[in-house]
Amino acid sequence: MGIMDIKENHLIKLIKKYEKRSTDTIRGIGDDGAVVRLKEGKYVFAQDGITEHVHFEFSFTKPYYVGKKAIYVNVSDILSMGALPLYFLVTVGIPEKLTSTEIMDLYRGINAAAREFHLKMLGGDTIATYSDFFIDVSMIGILKTDKYLGRDGAKEGDLIALTGYLGESAFGLKVLKDGIGRAKKTLNRYVKRYINPRPPFELWNELMKTNAINAMMDISDGLIIDLERMMNESKKSAKIFMERLPIPNILKRLSLEELALSGGEDFQFLFTFPKEKLSAIENVKRKGYVISIIGEVKKGRGVKLYENGKKKEILKKGYEHFNV
């Protein structure tokens, strides 16, 4: 039983079950649009979609996690602008092959991820497709401070830092694809990071409190390409050091450092801050969060990678997609 057997009314009922209205929602799901009262402020808008075969394969993940991932990807975008996500809408394109159980699992996943961040679903669209499955989420957040944290805020002399580890998600996908050590519990961490890439929200919250950050973005396509994008927007260059990159030991042992440099979907935060704010960032680390200071913002353009004091050639920058 697939989408053709679920009547519109049933699907709306299911989705309405997951609707958590805020007191500001004047009209929720069930109309041509949702009506929301917004106070005066600076709002951030993002829209990111994921499609089967390009962003995920059902052989490696499940509809529940695809639903979660579509939310996480957009939460990550909103957070990296320095904004708190509030509302979202979601369009799901469903091919005939999906069962109604899978469709419901997908919405369960969307709902589960939304609840983690207290997001309110405002509506969207569910459409039949010929063959591909896709999910496209638009999200609205509000700036935490008066200033947004974009890609264009890096200043000369800023230190460059990032949260968490690099290449975990890409390595998780590799574990699944190659089937290497699938039984080994020690690898679960990476597979989990690939399947369930929750943005480090608590750490982000601590970083916001420091008021130290000049530029921020999430690493979605790979460290090098994303850092290059930040430097382009900021009209600066980056000098980073291989030794300081938070690469999991297992990647080093397997000579897979490449995954840390150019593997996508880390969904960690890359940010810059003035040197004199270092103690504020160190304070966050002292609370037990993983933050690595990997380099410095310089004049010029591009990303320069150094290893043992020598400039290292960058072979692959990361995944070039078409996110605008």
Binding to a copy of itself (CB under 8 A) within 43-82 occurs at 43-55, 76-78, 80-81
Here's the x/- map for a copy of itself, 180-219, by CB under 8 A: it reads as -------------------------------------xx-
Shortest separation between residue 303's beta carbon and a copy of itself, angstroms: 15
Q: Which of 4, 233, 188 is nearest to 96 (CA)?
A: 4
Determine which residue in the list 66, 70, 71, 83 makes contact with a copy of itself, applying CB under 8 A.
Answer: 83
179 makes contact with a copy of itself (CB under 8 A) = no
Shortest separation between residue 145's beta carbon and a copy of itself, angstroms: 12
Determine which residue in the list 1, 115, 118, 127 makes contact with a copy of itself, applying CB under 8 A.
Answer: 127
Residues 215-244 that bind a copy of itself (CB under 8 A): 217-218, 233
273 makes contact with a copy of itself (CB under 8 A) = no
**Residue recorded with tokens 């397997």:** 254
Q: Which is nearer to a copy of itself, 26 or 290 (CB)?
A: 26
Please say whether the beta carbons of 43 and 89 come within 8 A.
no
- What the block records as the tokens of 131 is 């063959």
Determine which residue in the list 7, 17, 184, 253 makes contact with a copy of itself, applying CB under 8 A.
Answer: 7
Shortest separation between residue 175's beta carbon and a copy of itself, angstroms: 24
Q: Residue 181's Cα: distance from chain center in Å?
A: 27
Q: Which is nearer to a copy of itself, 48 or 102 (CB)?
A: 48
Shortest separation between residue 286's beta carbon and a copy of itself, angstroms: 28
Q: Which residues pair with 302 in a beta bridge?
A: 237
- Sequence-separated (6 or more) residues with CB below 8 Å from residue 151: 215, 217, 229, 230, 232, 233, 234
Q: Which is nearer to a copy of itself, 103 or 191 (CB)?
A: 103
Q: Which is nearer to a copy of itself, 111 or 251 (CB)?
A: 111
How far apart are the C-alpha atoms of 246 and 58, rounded to whole Å?
30
Shortest separation between residue 184's beta carbon and a copy of itself, angstroms: 32
- Sequence-separated (6 or more) residues with CB below 8 Å from residue 188: none
Query: 3-class SS at 136?
Result: strand
**Residue recorded with tokens 């990159």:** 245
Determine which residue in the list 26, 180, 254, 290 makes contact with a copy of itself, applying CB under 8 A.
Answer: 26
Please say whether the beta carbons of 204 and 281 come within 8 A.
no
151 makes contact with a copy of itself (CB under 8 A) = yes
15 makes contact with a copy of itself (CB under 8 A) = yes
Among the listed ranges 3-11, 163-171, 172-180, 303-311, the one in contact with a copy of itself (CB under 8 A) is 3-11
How distant, in Å, are the alpha carbons of 61, 154, 177, 181, 267 from that of 57? Answer: 6, 36, 10, 20, 19
The 3-class SS string of 214-258 reads CEEEECCCCHHHHHHHHHHHHCCEEEEEHHHCCCCHHHHHCCCHH
Q: Residue 22's Cα: distance from chain center in Å?
A: 24
Among the listed ranges 134-142, 238-246, 274-282, 291-299, the one in contact with a copy of itself (CB under 8 A) is 134-142
Q: Which residues pair with 92 in a beta bridge?
A: 126, 135
